[in-house]
Amino acid sequence: MQIVRGHLQSYDWGPVDGLQPWSPATGGPQAELWFGTHPNGPSPLLAGGVAEGSLPILMKLLAAARPLSIQIHPPAAIAAARYAAQQADPGLSQLVSDPYGKAEMLIALAPFAILEGFRDPQVSAVALGQLGPQIQPMVKALAQDDLPAAIRLAFDLPTEVVRQEAPALPAAFEDAETADILTQVLTTYPADPGVFVAALLNARTLQPGEAVYVDPGTVHAYVRGLGLEVMTSSDNVLRLGLTSKTVAVDEALGALDVAAQPHACPAEHSAGVDRYAPAGAPFTVDLLERTSTSAAFGRARIVLCLSGSTTVSGLTLQPGEAALLAADDAEVTISVQGTAVMARHGNAAAGAQG
């Protein structure tokens, strides 16, 4: 068992000091705290050094003050092939950081606006049909249910056309929530062609305790809020806009499943425990409140204290501290005086690290 703090990722979309009380103030953006062993951000040990080993799951606290990129996590076969190609040819763009698929779940800790999966292209065609003539080739592709062609056309738009036409997007949709979330996107990225991709996605706001599970290949974007992520231990992201990072349209479309939708994950409630166990997922997640439980060996586990204190087999965790347990670590007893979260790795789904 390794006792750690979160590894802070100071991405520019994080709010200033947005991950207190789990991380000390830095005076700069705080976007993510990573609890795990992924080489892009292994957690610091309380005793010094960093966590070691190869834990197959990763937990993050995530705070977004403005939209993250539109993302597709490549399935394992695509990730492995791209990773091998990068290893063989260092001149290739480093689009993936490991050879694994990435399945993830987001649980809202505060209201969290997200974009998830494509809406019916015919609905999008009607909405975008209200825009100017430069957008009509996209509309034609949508009317033919050809989402990849519509996305390619969006990225062919000149910057001045994006700036001219994009402000009309929120009003083109009758749904107030969609209009509000698209307005948030446009405020940050008024000249990014990815705003037209964002307009093709379903918009919703998760309330605290609500969760979505995302399979590899599913398009999604997190817009604004505070949440907890649990995922297979991969940092692979292919992007379709709304970012200063690399946008790889061909590679992202090659990894995209246009029919895939995030799965709503209602919690199973019992005394002191809210359990999230989406069908087919390679992990389960328990939110724990003032309760005692145990976690048997045989599965990798992460236990994170969110508030109050949490004792793991006699070791007390404070908020922002976690216990990392490999599958062959012994069973532990857990006593929560406040709130905590426990993730357990299950049998790896096809395409995920295991």
Domain boundary at 213, 246, 265, which? 265
Tell which phi-psi region holds residue 83, choosing left (phi > 0), alpha (psi between -120 and 50) or beta: alpha
On whether both 185 and 328 belong to a single domain, the answer is: no
Specify if 292 maps to a domain.
Answer: yes
Specify if 25 maps to a domain.
Answer: no
d(CA 342, CA 135): 47
Q: Which amino acid is at 276?
A: Y
Domain boundary at 212, 238, 265, which? 265
On whether both 281 and 248 belong to a single domain, the answer is: no
On whether both 238 and 294 belong to a single domain, the answer is: no
pLDDT for 128 equals 97
* β 211-214/263-264 pair status: antiparallel
Residue 327 tokens, joined: 């599958």
> Can you say how many angstroms the Cα of residue 228 is from the centroid of all Cα atoms in its chain?
9
91's CB contacts (< 8 A; 6+ apart) are none
Helix ranges (H only) for 100-248 are 121-128, 136-143, 147-155, 159-165, 169-172, 176-188, 194-198
Q: Write down the pTM of the prediction.
A: 0.94
Token pair 């309760």 in the structure block, residue: 291
Contact predicate 283/295, CB 8 Å: no
d(CA 72, CA 165): 25
d(CA 220, CA 71): 5
Question: Vertex 319, ends 209 and 340: CA angle to 5°?
Answer: 40
On whether both 233 and 184 belong to a single domain, the answer is: yes
Q: In a structure prediction context, what are the per-residue pLDDT tens digits for the chain, which is 354 residues long? A: 999 999 999 999 999 999 999 999 999 999 999 999 999 999 999 999 999 999 999 999 999 999 999 999 999 999 999 999 999 999 999 999 999 999 999 999 999 999 999 999 999 999 999 999 999 999 999 999 999 999 999 999 999 999 999 999 999 998 999 999 999 999 999 999 999 999 999 999 999 999 999 999 999 999 999 999 999 999 999 999 999 899 999 999 999 999 999 999 999 999 999 999 998 899 999 999 999 999 999 999 999 999 999 999 999 999 999 999 999 999 999 999 999 999 999 853 333 343
Specify if 134 maps to a domain.
Answer: yes
Specify if 10 maps to a domain.
Answer: no
pLDDT for 174 equals 87
For residue 297, the domain's CATH number is 2.60.120.10
Domain boundary at 245, 265, 285, which? 265
On whether both 239 and 304 belong to a single domain, the answer is: no
Helix (H, G, I), strand (E, B) or coil at 147: helix
d(CA 36, CA 354): 14
Specify if 33 maps to a domain.
Answer: no
Specify if 277 maps to a domain.
Answer: yes
Helix (H, G, I), strand (E, B) or coil at 55: coil
On whether both 142 and 246 belong to a single domain, the answer is: yes
On whether both 256 and 338 belong to a single domain, the answer is: no
Contact predicate 128/135, CB 8 Å: yes
Residue 319 tokens, joined: 């908020």
d(CA 31, CA 301): 23
| CA separation, residue 275 to residues 226, 244, 266 (Å) | 19, 36, 9
Specify if 11 maps to a domain.
Answer: no
For residue 94, the domain's CATH number is 2.60.120
Specify if 227 maps to a domain.
Answer: yes
On whether both 309 and 172 belong to a single domain, the answer is: no
On whether both 144 and 259 belong to a single domain, the answer is: yes
pLDDT for 267 equals 95
Residue range(s) defining the domain that contains residue 238:
67-265
Helix (H, G, I), strand (E, B) or coil at 124: helix
CB atoms within 10 A of CB 353: 24
d(CA 107, CA 147): 28
pLDDT for 347 equals 54
d(CA 323, CA 318): 11
pLDDT for 230 equals 98
Residue of 229, 218, 216, 230 lying closest to 31 (CA atoms): 229
On whether both 104 and 233 belong to a single domain, the answer is: yes
Domain count, the chain: 2
> Can you say how many angstroms the Cα of residue 232 is from the centroid of all Cα atoms in its chain?
11
78's CB contacts (< 8 A; 6+ apart) are 254, 255
On whether both 92 and 220 belong to a single domain, the answer is: yes
On whether both 153 and 281 belong to a single domain, the answer is: no
d(CA 75, CA 217): 6
